[in-house]
Amino acid sequence: MSRRKTRPQDSARRSAAPAAFATPTACPCGLPADYTDCCGRLHRGDAAATTAEQLMRSRYSAFVVGDTAYLLSSWHPDTRPGTLDLDPRTRWLGLEILGTEDGGPFHAEGTVAFRARYREGGREHVLDERSRFSRVDGLWVYVDGRFAD
Ligand SMILES: [Zn+2]
């Protein structure tokens, strides 16, 4: 997921209370596990993704919990942005893995097609993307993504 947040044009929409990222109990990636035992392990650096799909899921969860450091460190150095600005008011609603190609424990590259739904500015949006992953020093990283037509 490469989507960089833009600041909303309509500042009047801003709520009085500052929005904040919260640590969820159930893992946002959709697997039936607690965040702490699922993507949280990857975010904390206690485990590394063994497949491209696992990295994809952990990156989605990083968007949900606002872990920009993880998003940047799991980005290929050739395509990684200098900074990443996440809007805590974006409500991520769910991730659906549509298909994978390679990206397994014995592959060096892989692609993951996914659909992510989010709410922003009072409207629901759907992000359909096909992401490419490769390994750097043995670890899966996100290379880039193409939006589905
Ligand atoms: Zn997870």
pTM summary value: 0.85
Cα 102 to ligand 1 centroid, rounded to whole Å: 20
The answer to whether 45 and 103 have CB atoms below 8 angstroms apart is no
Task: Report the pLDDT value the prediction gives residue 69, as an integer from 0 to 100.
Answer: 97
Cα 74 to ligand 1 centroid, rounded to whole Å: 15
Set out the domains of the chain in order of their start, with CATH numbers: 25-147 (3.10.450.50)
Cα 25 to ligand 1 centroid, rounded to whole Å: 11
The answer to whether 145 and 132 have CB atoms below 8 angstroms apart is yes
As to burial, measured by CB atoms within 10 angstroms (0-12 exposed, 13-18 middle, 19+ buried), residue 74 is: buried
Per-residue model confidence as pLDDT tens digits over 80-115: 999 999 988 899 999 999 999 999 999 999 999 999
Per-residue model confidence as pLDDT tens digits over 1-10: 666 555 444 4
The answer to whether 143 and 132 have CB atoms below 8 angstroms apart is yes
Cα 135 to ligand 1 centroid, rounded to whole Å: 20
Q: What is the mean pLDDT of the chain?
A: 89
Cα 39 to ligand 1 centroid, rounded to whole Å: 4
Mean pLDDT in residue range 37-64: 97
Give 23's pLDDT tier (boundaries 50, 70, 90): confident
Q: Which residues contact 114 (CB under 8 A, 6 or more apart)?
A: 56, 60, 95, 96, 97, 98, 128, 129, 131
Task: Report the pLDDT value the prediction gives residue 21, as an integer from 0 to 100.
Answer: 78
